[in-house]
Amino acid sequence: MHISEGVLSAPVLISGALIAAGGVTIGLKKTENEKIPEVGVLSAAFFVASLIHVPLGPTSVHLILNGLVGLLLGWAAFPAILVGLVFQAILFQFGGLTTLGVNTVTMALPAVLGYYIFGPAVRSASHKAALVSAFLCGGFGVFAAAVLVALALFLTGQSFLEVGKMVVYAHLPVMVIEGILAMFCVAFLRKVKPELLEIKK
């Protein structure tokens, strides 16, 4: 889902960079020192999950795990995802340095939204509600990211509208896969490490 260099217009790139900078700033301020190792582990998980790409025009299809990252980190998803994207851009030329801001926003903003929309149910005492919400959050993260990518392409030029639609449609199977992964991860964490989910007693 990385947008490549040379695709987006300057206003879109600048807007993405400013929003990403704001998100990263908030994320760093809200991240306590004790949470830094968790942020690092999830940043690494995001980095590895995104390595297998199926090219699709100016973007690509791959696992993101932003829904799960958002559930566990909240605003800290912004710096975690930014770090993963920086290493992907430098080491593997996925996305690019000029599109770092937009790519960060398209993946991290849905993660933060997922934290607030689905997080309360995931952290509740109801195991069933937690699993359903985790599945929905995993799928939502991918869907919202695909929509934001499509929006960024559309704002660059209406000629990208069809490409934007293709990005959303191509990620439908990924939404289901990510939902299932998030559900299993939450089920596991509720049993062995519930404090990571901030489970309410």
Residues 125 and 121: their CA atoms lie apart, in Å, by 8
Percent of the chain exceeding pLDDT 90 equals 61
137-163 pLDDT, tens digit per residue, is: 999 999 999 999 989 989 988 777 787
Residue-wise pLDDT for 25-36, tens only, equals: 999 999 999 899
* pLDDT of residue 41 exceeding 90: yes
Q: Residue 55 — pLDDT band, cuts 50, 70, 90?
A: low
35 burial via Cβ count (<10 Å: 0-12, 13-18, 19+): middle
Average pLDDT over residues 34-39: 92
pTM for the whole structure: 0.89
pLDDT above 70 for 174: yes
> Mean pLDDT of all residues in the chain?
89
| CATH numbers and ranges of domains, the chain | 10-197 (1.10.1760.20)
pLDDT at 60: 60
What is the band of 172 on the pLDDT scale with cuts at 50, 70, 90?
confident
Of 165 and 67, more confident: 67
Q: Is 123 helix (H, G, I), strand (E, B) or coil?
A: coil
Inter-helix orientation angle 77-92/66-73, to 10°: 140
Per-residue pLDDT at 165: 83
Could you tell me which residues come within 8 angstroms of residue 23 by beta carbon, excluding any fewer than 6 positions away?
Answer: 75, 78, 104, 105, 108, 109, 112
Q: Which two tokens stand for residue 91?
A: 């080491």
